[in-house]
A = this chain, B = another copy of it.
Amino acid sequence: MSVVGVDLGGTKILARVVDPATGRTVGRKKVPTPKDGTDAVMSAVAELVRDVTASVADGTAKGVSAEDAAEAVTAVGVGVPGLVEADGTVSRCPNIPGWDQPVAVKTILEADLGLPVVVSNDVNCGAVAEHRLGAGRGTDDLLAVFVGTGVGGGLIINNQLVVGERGMAGEIGHLTVVSDGRICGCGERGHLESYAGRAGIEREARRLHAAGRPNALVELAGESPIKSRHLEQALAAGDEVAHQLVDDAVMALAIGIGNVATLLDLSRVVVGGGVADKLGRPFLEQIMGSPDFGGFGPQVCTLELAQHLDDAGVLGAALLAADLIEN
């Protein structure tokens, strides 16, 4: 048995044929995300699934064995950067151009492909990948936190992904960590993401710069967005504002992660995403050693770096597809 995982992103669509028992990738393909509406996006996903499946079946995919080629694809998992309802409809998906109303992704793709399809939030897919094939292996309960432009999270309890009634579970980025604190991208105050997400760090760096505290982050990035590598470089150069902003991010993550670990009695939390990947293990050590490490965090839980980076979404989507067949 093989399954296909798809990661539907704002700029590209990735697909892989995966052996779900091992997580091994048998074939892979990608295409740019169409910019002309969700009908075109849905057609592109279906076409990509057919292409990558055919490339394995006919042996043209790199390194594919005769055994691999003989395995039938039995299900498809799709990770999307949006809000997924229980019936596989994606009601909001702001990063994909033209997604201005709900799209019944599961229904459309099942009709087109003739295979069972599961649709899940891409961050949740990442959590599933880390839980089964990454740094969360061996746990029954896991929080995976992804620190990038924003801060997302996925929760596994009793080896099951927790999605919540409205598909919104896991939103650790929008936990309040500072009463009446910084304004978040969502408009509320004091949320974790406003301190630990790259966009929140950038807003604060530019505000300080404009307010008379010039800093290496703004100088390195210029007019372009501040990247994780700028953060890394500014820290290495001893830039005071960069250090302060990373300390703020550590405080926010320490409170939020410690609290979730306390609430759910977690012994392990996996931390990934571009910022965590660049700052690496010392960043996690700083969170675990922080006086702000919340609740019983210091007594109950350790943080581990995520093992999958760009492929966590596509891999997790494939694993969820395999569940469709096994359950």
Interface residues of A (CB under 8 A from B): 140-141, 153, 155, 157-158, 160, 162-172, 174-180, 188, 191, 251, 255, 258-260, 262-267, 291-292, 294-296, 300
In the A-B complex, the 6 residue pairs with the smallest Cβ-Cβ separation, listed nearest first, are: A164-B265, A176-B294, A169-B265, A168-B265, A175-B259, A174-B295
A292–B168 contact, CB under 8 A? Answer: no
Q: Which residues of B have CB within 8 Å of A166?
A: 265, 267, 300
Q: How far is the CA of A187 from the CA of B63 in the complex (A)?
A: 58
CB pairs A–B below 8 angstroms (20 shown): A140-B165, A141-B165, A163-B265, A164-B264, A165-B266, A165-B267, A166-B267, A168-B262, A169-B263, A174-B295, A175-B294, A175-B295, A176-B292, A176-B294, A176-B295, A177-B179, A179-B255, A179-B292, A180-B292, A259-B259
Of the listed residues A160, A171, A264, A296, the one surrounded by the most CB atoms of chain B closer than 10 A to its CB is A264
Number of copies: 2
Q: How far is the CA of A222 from the CA of B258 in the complex (A)?
A: 38
B162–A264 contact, CB under 8 A? Answer: yes
B176–A258 contact, CB under 8 A? Answer: yes
Given contacts A140-B165, A160-B158, A295-B191, contact A175 B263 (CB under 8 A): yes
Q: Which residues of B have CB within 8 Å of A179?
A: 177-178, 251, 255, 292
Q: Which residues of B have CB within 8 Å of A160?
A: 158
Chain B nearest CB: distance from A264 CB in Å?
5
Q: Which residues of B have CB within 8 Å of A259?
A: 175-176, 259
Q: Which residues of B have CB within 8 Å of A175?
A: 259, 262-263, 294-295
B265–A176 contact, CB under 8 A? Answer: no
Chain B residue nearest to A268 in the complex (CB): B165
Given contacts A141-B164, A174-B295, A191-B295, contact A169 B264 (CB under 8 A): yes
B168–A300 contact, CB under 8 A? Answer: yes
Q: Which residues of B have CB within 8 Å of A158?
A: 160, 162
Of the listed residues A157, A160, A178, the one surrounded by the most CB atoms of chain B closer than 10 A to its CB is A157
Chain B nearest CB: distance from A124 CB in Å?
12
A265–B165 contact, CB under 8 A? Answer: yes
Q: How far is the CA of A112 from the CA of B292 in the complex (A)?
A: 47
Chain B nearest CB: distance from A104 CB in Å?
21
Q: Point out the residue from B165, B180, B263 that lies within 8 Å of A263, measured CB to CB.
A: B263
Q: Which residues of B have CB within 8 Å of A292?
A: 176, 179-180
Q: Point out the residue from B162, B178, B180, B291 that lies within 8 Å of A157, measured CB to CB.
A: B162
7 extra A-B contacts, CB within 8 A, seeds A141-B164, A174-B295:
A164-B266, A165-B265, A165-B266, A172-B263, A176-B259, A179-B292, A260-B263
